Amino acid sequence: MDLNHNHFSSQDCGDCPIRHRAVCARCDARELDELEQIKYYRSFEAGQTIIWSGDRMDFVASVVTGIATLTQTMEDGRRQMVGLLLPSDFVGRPGRERAPYDVTATTDLVMCCFRKKPFEEMMIRTPHIGQRLLEMTLDELDAAREWMLLLGRKTAREKIASLVAIIGRRDAALHLSGKKGPLTFDLPLTREAMADYLGLTLETVSRQISALKRDGVIELEGKRHVIVPDLDRLLEEAGDDTDGGLLV
């Protein structure tokens, strides 16, 4: 289904994030060298906006560490998150001038950017880069469709359970986990960001997290650290039939 998902985590890359699944899993030495020429790093602090919707965007990029989000905002201020970028995720569209969404760092963040123009030229000469991008984009589309089911039809409780499951799994995948024991990880989002993700208000998020805790579905240490004693129970709460295959 999707091949290199976990082969190149940010850990593997050290400070050579061009080896991310994003771009160059199949590049040869000359191509890697060419990518080196056009890449540069950018760091952001938690909360910082990377680019505003409508702004010129002359790079494409891959997340090295930290978390970024894509959000849309309506005139009256209603906000909906439409993308959640974890390490190794790719952002930016070859051929597009301007960003269609706000891109924000929700934690401290390092991105590996490629200048767009030369990247596009290289894509034409190097078909497997385009092929990788196609695979990744299709994965993202699948994730978006799961997300649509969540937004359109799930209850608040199910939404929270789904979000916890999604983040827990991605976190586990990122840590190359073969390790057993209860799933344990930090929620990298504020209650407000979770609300934007789920199409809820932050009060409802808070209440439903409390409810899941009260019912023993999850345990909390502090406000962010989650322990999932029974993943199957959580998935059941999430109303999830897919066995995680598609959730990115």
Partner DNA sequence: TATCCCACTTGATCTGCATCAAGGCAGGCG
Partner DNA sequence: CGCCTGCCTTGATGCAGATCAAGTGGGATA
* Binding-site ranges for DNA (CB under 7 A): 47, 155-157, 190-192, 199-207, 209-210, 220, 222-224
- The H or E element spanning position 210 is helix 202-214
Look at residue 131 and give the partner it binds from a copy of itself, DNA, none, a contact being a CB closer than 5 to 8 Å depending on partner kind: a copy of itself
By CB under 8 A, the residues from 119 to 148 that bind a copy of itself are 127, 130-131, 133-135, 137-138, 140-142, 144-148
Q: Residue 199: helix, strand or coil by DSSP?
A: coil
Alpha-helical runs (H) found in 39-155: 116-125, 127-153
Tell the smallest beta-carbon distance from residue 207 to DNA (Å): 5
Look at residue 138 and give the partner it binds from a copy of itself, DNA, none, a contact being a CB closer than 5 to 8 Å depending on partner kind: a copy of itself
**Identity at 202, one-letter amino acid code:** L
- Indicate the residue among 168 and 199 with the shorter CB distance to DNA: 199
Pick from 186, 169, 181: nearest CA to 220: 186
Look at residue 72 and give the partner it binds from DNA, a copy of itself, none, a contact being a CB closer than 5 to 8 Å depending on partner kind: a copy of itself
Please count the other Cβ atoms lying within 10 Å of the Cβ belonging to residue 21. Answer: 23
Look at residue 176 and give the partner it binds from DNA, a copy of itself, none, a contact being a CB closer than 5 to 8 Å depending on partner kind: none
Binds a copy of itself by CB under 8 A, chosen from 14, 56, 95, 243: 95
- The H or E element spanning position 24 is none
* Residues across the chain: 248
Pairing of strands 39-44, 109-115: antiparallel
Tell the smallest beta-carbon distance from residue 138 to a copy of itself (Å): 5
